[in-house]
Structure 1
Amino acid sequence: MGALLSCSFGAAPAKLAVLPVNRVNAEGQPAATIMDHKPMVNIAPFGVCKSMANPTVSAATSAAMGVLTPMPCIPATSSPWTPGAAKTLIAGQPALHAKCTCTCNWGGMIKIDQPGTGKTTVT
């Protein structure tokens, strides 16, 4: 919870939100798993998107005669974070750690820039 994320096609950082459904805390915050990848629930928008694979960016760029026209980011993350912790499970799912990444359907690579915890480690 509270980890700072970035997307390779986004313009601004976003915070990871973790719902307290697994009843496991790390340093007072709900602990994340690889399944905490839901757009607008766990992963907030990254400002504007610059990916031409995003239909809104593609349409706006076409309307601007080929000049790249970023559009508001709406994350489209249908796949879980990878790789996840090898040994630490939370509610039967691998725990999220600082080296995990998540791919947006529009081609962006989402990574954790600053973990939400500083003292907790997972294996």
Structure 2
Amino acid sequence: MPQQVSMGATLQCSFGAAPSTLVVLPVNRVMGEGPPAANIMDHVPLVNIMPFGMCSSPANPTVAAATAAAMGVLTPMPCVPATMSPWVTGAPTVLLGNQPSLDNVSKCMCNWGGVVTIVNPATVNTMIP
């Protein structure tokens, strides 16, 4: 059963070298077992989604430039998330701030081809029907 995601959730990008954490601003005024609960609009780079260490996506312009400079050897560069679209699909029957609640099976796409997933939702008791 899907779980509600809250501030401090552990995230992982398919092209990132390290996990990251989700930052949820308390604008919706809904708490999930203490910290603020997230909705699908909590996808803003460097506000909600922090860097994942080093990025190895060849679609990332900085990685492509470094790889070209290294004569074609894949050269990871520091991650700067480019998550411009909301999380999908969320929980459409549970609204937080007039948006679907974010659950632990949702995914967020990075413009450089990575898929951001939720490894640990930071809640253990709040289940979403």
If the TM-score is normalised by the length of the shorter chain, which range does it land in? Answer: over 0.9
- Residue 77 (structure 1) aligns with: 83
- Corresponding residue of 1:22: 28
User: Which whole-Å CA distance do the structure 1 matches of 2:122 and 2:86 have between them?
Assistant: 18
Uncovered stretches (5+) of structure 2, i.e. residues with no partner: 1-6
How many residue pairs get aligned? The number is 123
TM-score (norm 1): 0.99
Note the C-alpha offset of 1:117: 0.5
Q: CA RMSD in A?
A: 0.5
Alpha-carbon offset, residue 116 of structure 1: 1.2
Q: Partner of 2:111 in structure 1?
A: 105
- Cα separation, 2, equivalents of 1:71 and 1:27: 36
1:1-27 Cα distance to aligned partner (Å, 9 max, x none): 111000000000000000000000010
User: Sequence identity, in percent?
Assistant: 63
Letter in 1 for 2:77: M
Give the drift of 1:107. Answer: 0.2
Measured after TM superposition, the shift of residue 122 of structure 1 is 1.8
4+ residue runs over 4 A deviation = none
Provide the C-alpha distance between the structure 2 equivalents of 1:7 and 1:91, rounded to a whole number of angstroms.
Answer: 26
With CA pairs under 8 Å and 6+ residues apart, which has the higher RCO, 1 or 2? Answer: 2
Where in structure 2 are the equivalents of 1:43-122 lying within 5 Å? 43-122=49-128
TM superposition shift of 1:86: 2.3
TM-score (norm 2): 0.94
Listed as ranges, the gaps of 5+ residues in structure 1 are none
